[in-house]
Chains A and B, each alone.
Chain A
Amino acid sequence: ILNVEQSPQSLHVQEGDSTNFTCSFPSSNFYALHWYRWETAKSPEALFVMTLNGDEKKKGRISATLNTKEGYSYLYIKGSQPEDSATYLCAFRGYSTLTFGKGTMLLVSP
């Protein structure tokens, strides 16, 4: 079973703070790295799918980078808002399937 690690496990920040999370994954047999946001009582929703080393993706205040050679990805949130409160999941895409990390739970206080 593949090992996909996310850190920190949880994070509590104030509105307006910028924050970042880390996802570590195997550097071999890599096909893609996915990021999902999972809000309470809702379904997980895709944020980014990245495939190439050096990829950078951005959606509004959220961005992500990818380093496939060393096996890590960073997710950044600039100027956190209370509506950003959610669990952020990364998933390693191997040949056939997605392997998820345990997630980083973010709480943004007003």
Chain B
Amino acid sequence: DGGITQSPKYLFRKEGQNVTLSCEQNLNHDAMYWYRQDPGQGLRLIYYSQIVNDFQKGDIAEGYSVSREKKESFPLTVTSAQKNPTAFYLCASSRDRGVNTEAFFGQGTRLTVV
């Protein structure tokens, strides 16, 4: 089955540690995205990539880093510089950067800083 796989589903991190969230897609999509959701908030864009080896900051990129070395993979690192990392993180992809292309989502990773 084609789709987007995020792992792990739940992640606990100690304050001051970096942690990497995995996102893999087998849809052969060019574009990939990372969103964050907090209670009472909409999905907010962290980073996006429209092609391999290229990525752009979204609205809330501070304290995060990404890489896009392979088309199917777009890992997100939450660094110790992120002040409020506890949140639900969603990865998405779309076929291309066209305006008509819908986004496909993973099932998310819930990160808790303890």
Bound state CA distance, A91 and B33, in angstroms? Answer: 14
A30 to chain B, nearest CB (A): 9
**A-B Cβ contacts below 8 A, count:** 56
Q: Identify which of A13-21, A56-64, A74-82, A92-100 touches chain B.
A: A92-100
B108 — nearest CB in chain A belongs to which residue?
Answer: A43
> Could you list which residues of chain B lie within 8 angstroms of chain A, going by C-beta atoms?
4, 33, 35, 40-45, 48, 50, 56, 58-59, 90, 97, 99-108
- Contact B42 A46, beta carbon cutoff 8 Å: no
Answer yes or no: A32 CB below 8 A from chain B CBs: yes
- Contact A89 B108, beta carbon cutoff 8 Å: no
Bound state CA distance, A39 and B58, in angstroms? Answer: 25
B108 contacts across to A, CB distance below 8 A: 43
Interface size class of A (residues with CB under 8 A): 20 to 34
Bound state CA distance, A93 and B108, in angstroms? Answer: 22
> Could you list which residues of chain A lie within 8 angstroms of chain B, going by C-beta atoms?
1, 4, 31-32, 34, 36, 41-46, 49, 51, 89, 91, 93, 96-103
- Contact A44 B42, beta carbon cutoff 8 Å: no
B56 contacts across to A, CB distance below 8 A: 96
B44 to chain A, nearest CB (A): 8
> Can you list 7 A-B pairs with a CB-CB distance of less than 8 A?
A4-B42, A43-B4, A43-B90, A43-B105, A44-B103, A97-B48, A100-B44
